Amino acid sequence: MNTTTSINTTTTLSAGRGNSTLSLNEGYFARRNALDWVFAVLVAGGFLYAFARYSAYMDVYEKGILFAAIPATIAMGWFWRPLRLLMAVVAGFALLGIASYQGDLARAEQVFWLKYFLSSQSAILWMSVLFFMSTIFYWLGMFAGNTPTSTGSSHSATLESLGSKIAWVGVGMALIGTLVRWYESYLIGADIGHIPVSNLYEVFVLFCWMTAAFYLYFEAEYKTRALGAFVMLVVSGAVGFLLWYTVVREAHEIQPLVPALKSWWMKLHVPANFIGYGMFSLAAMVALSYHVKQQAHETRWYRLTPLWLLGVVLCFVPIVFRKSPLEAGGSHYWIGYLLVAGLIAGGILLGRKHIAARLPSLEVLDDVMYKAIAVGFAFFTIATVLGALWAAEAWGGYWSWDPKETWALIVWLNYAAWLHMRLMKGLRGTVAAWWALVGLLVTTFAFLGVNMFLSGLHSYGTL
C-alpha cells in the first residue's frame, strides 16, 4: 500500500464574493496589501517630519524612542486594522487643534472648536461623557430584548453596538486631548513642556483610554459585546474619580515637572505601567462576570460573596476619598457616587440570571481573563525593570524599598504566582477568578493607596 504523504501549503478560503488563495509559507511582508503600505508610508512620513522639526529639542535617547516608535506603530496598525482609522482621525483632529492655537494659549477660549471640542480639557471632558454613555448603552443592551428590529438585528445587539462605537469615539477624544495637552504644555513654557503622563490626572486619562482600547480588541477578537457592560464599569469608575479630582483639586492645570521626572525614562516607564494596570483591571471585571455566570441560579447568600462584596467595595470608595464637606461640594458628589454604586451592585445581584444568559461561556471568560493578565504582566515586568533603571539614574540606586516600589513588587509577585499556577498547575475557574478580583484590590492600593496613605520618593500625585 502506497502511503505517500504530501503537504499542501496552500489553503483556499472562500469569502463573500469570491475565492482567495493564501499560501501558508507566504512571508509576513508578502501578506501586506496596498492599504497596509500606504499606512506605513504615512506613519513613517509623520514621524520623520516630527524628527526634522523637533530634533533640536531632543536628546539622543528621545530620538531613539521616536525612531523605535515608527516600526512599533506600523506593526500595531497591521496587527489590528481598526487602529489605522483611529490613528488617522486622532492625528487629523490633534493637528487641527494644534494649528488653531497659532502659538497662543489664549486662543483656547476664542476659537469655537478649541473651546468646545479640541482643547485638551474639552476633549478629555468629552472622553468622560462618552465613556459614561458607552457604559449605559452596554447595560441597556444587556437587559434589552432579542426581538429583531426592522434592520434585522435585535434591540440588544443595536444598543451594544452603539455602546461599542461610543467607546471608540471616547478613546479617540482621550488621545486627541492627550496630544493637544502635550503641545499646550510647551506653549506655557519650553522648560514646562512634557509628555502628559506625569501626575494622577494625566495617568487616569491614560488608564481610561488604554483599558477601553484593550477591551475593544477583545470584543472584536471574541465577537461578543456582552463583556462591555462589566469592563466599562471600571473605566467609568476611573472617569468618576477623574472628574472629582479635577473639580476638587483643579488637577487639570498643567504643572512643571519635579526634577526627578525630567527624564526620557518617563515616556517608557509610565505607559508600560498603565498597560499593566489596565489589563489587570480588565481581567478583574471579566472575573466578576465569571462569578455572575457561574452563580446565576445560586440562592444561598454566602455563595454570592463576589456580588455583594462588589457593592461593599463600591460603597466604601466614597468613605475613602471623601474630604471636607465644604470642599467644592465634595460630599454631595460622593453621596451621588454612593447611590449609583449601590444601584449598580444591586442591579447585578438581582439581574444575575438574565445577565448570565447574555454572557459568553465560562471557557471564553476564563481565556480572556488569562490573556489579559498575561499581557498585563509582561508590560508590568517591563515597566518595573525600566523603573529600576530610571531610579538608578535619578537617585543612584536600582531599588530603595520605597513604598511604591514595594507595592509594585507585591503586584508583580501576585500575578507571577497566578500565571505560574495557571501554566504549571492548570489553575482555572472559580479560584482563578477570585484571585483576579483580589489582584485588583492589590493593584488599586499600589496605584492609589500608596499615594493616599504612604509617602516616599514616588509621592508626585497626592490626593
For the chain, residues with pLDDT lower than 70 are 1-26, 147-152, 299-334, 453-463
Summarised one tens digit per residue, pLDDT across range 18-33 is: 444 444 456 778 888 9
**Helix-helix angle 305-321:266-294, to 10 degrees:** 140
pLDDT of 154 reads: 82
pLDDT of 456 reads: 58
Q: Count other Cβ atoms within 10 Å, centred on residue 27.
A: 8
287 by Cβ neighbours in 10 Å (0-12 / 13-18 / 19+) ranks as buried
Do strands 18-23 and 10-15 pair parallel, antiparallel, or not at all (unpaired)?
Answer: antiparallel
Q: Count other Cβ atoms within 10 Å, centred on residue 285.
A: 27
pLDDT of 7 reads: 42
Residue tagged 500575578 (cell numbers): 415
pLDDT of 3 reads: 44
Amino acid of residue 260: A
Written as nine digits, the cell of 263 is: 527624564
- Average pLDDT of the chain is 84
pLDDT of 21 reads: 44
Q: Are 228 and 134 in contact (CB under 8 A)?
A: yes
Of 281, 279, 286, the closest CA to residue 306 belongs to 286
Does pTM surpass 0.85? yes
pLDDT of 53 reads: 86
pLDDT of 309 reads: 61
Q: Measured in whole angstroms, how far is the alpha carbon of residue 301 from the centre of its chain?
A: 33
Query: For residue 10, what are the β-bridge partners?
Result: 23
pLDDT of 151 reads: 61
Per DSSP, helices labelled H in 32-107 are 34-54, 60-79, 82-101
pLDDT of 244 reads: 83
pLDDT of 290 reads: 93
pLDDT of 28 reads: 79
